[in-house]
């Protein structure tokens, strides 16, 4: 696929057959073309998609979108599901859960969870592009906004 096509905003609809692999493949190609660390992008998106299917019980297709803006490669995993309040990531070596959030927090420049229209919960991850690593980005956030706009 031509690089200029990979740099365009994209949307991938995930069903039930191999959703994590499909999402990782989708974002890896686009992240690499944008200049992001493709391994970090694939790892974080794999965790987010897994969490949506395991914990979120989505009521329709899960959407994975990508875009590049302001020196950041953006990936959003959106699912129509009940509101989510994410716990802060844990660094406890004996913790049985929460490792995916720790990875998302550690490997991204921006990570947040927000409520969107029509019952969608969005998990937004931003990865700084190499030429922009000195740029200050918005802080990490772990709770959705209280309104379902």
Residues in a beta bridge with 14 = 62
Amino acid 134: pLDDT: 52
Structure-token pair, residue 66: 């990508």
Residue 22 lies in a domain: yes
Quick one: pLDDT at residue 86?
A: 74
Task: State how far the Cα of 53 lies from the Cα of 70, in Å rounded to an integer.
Answer: 30
Residue 74 has pLDDT above 90, yes or no: yes
Determine, yes or no, domain membership for 139: no
Find where tokens 């994590």 sit.
20
Domain assignment of residue 110, yes or no = yes
Q: Does residue 81 lie in a domain region?
A: yes
pTM, entire model: 0.77
Tell me the C-alpha distance between 144 and 112, whole Å.
8
Q: How far is CA 4 from the centre of its chain?
A: 22
Residue 40's domain spans which residues?
A: 3-131
What pLDDT does residue 142 have?
Answer: 38
CATH assignment at residue 96: 3.30.565.10
| Total number of domains in the chain | 1
CA distance 90 to 99: 7
- pLDDT 10s digits, 109-146: 999 999 999 888 899 999 999 875 554 444 444 333 33
| Residue 27: pLDDT over 90 | yes
Is residue 144 assigned to a domain?
no
- The C-alpha atoms of residue 64 and residue 11 are separated, in whole angstroms, by 6
Taking the CA atoms of 105, 111, 115 and 119 in sequence, report the sign of the dihedral they define: negative
Tell whether 149 is covered by a domain. Answer: no
Question: What is the C-alpha end-to-end distance of the chain, expressed in Å?
Answer: 36
């Amino acid at each position: 696929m031509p690089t200029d096509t990979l740099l365009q905003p994209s949307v991938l609809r995930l069903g039930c057959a191999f959703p994590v692999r499909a999402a990782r493949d989708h974002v890896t190609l686009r992240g690499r073309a944008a200049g992001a660390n493709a391994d970090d992008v694939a790892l974080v998106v794999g965790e987010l998609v897994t969490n949506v299917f395991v914990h979120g019980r989505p009521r329709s297709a899960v959407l994975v979108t990508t875009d590049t803006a302001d020196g950041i490669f953006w990936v959003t995993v959106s699912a129509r599901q009940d509101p989510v309040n994410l716990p802060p990531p844990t660094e406890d070596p004996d913790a049985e859960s929460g490792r995916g959030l720790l990875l998302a927090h550690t490997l991204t420049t921006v990570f947040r969870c927000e409520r969107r229209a029509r019952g969608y919960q969005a998990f937004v991850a931003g990865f700084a592009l190499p030429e922009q690593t000195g740029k200050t980005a918005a802080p990490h956030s772990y709770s959705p906004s209280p309104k379902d706009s």
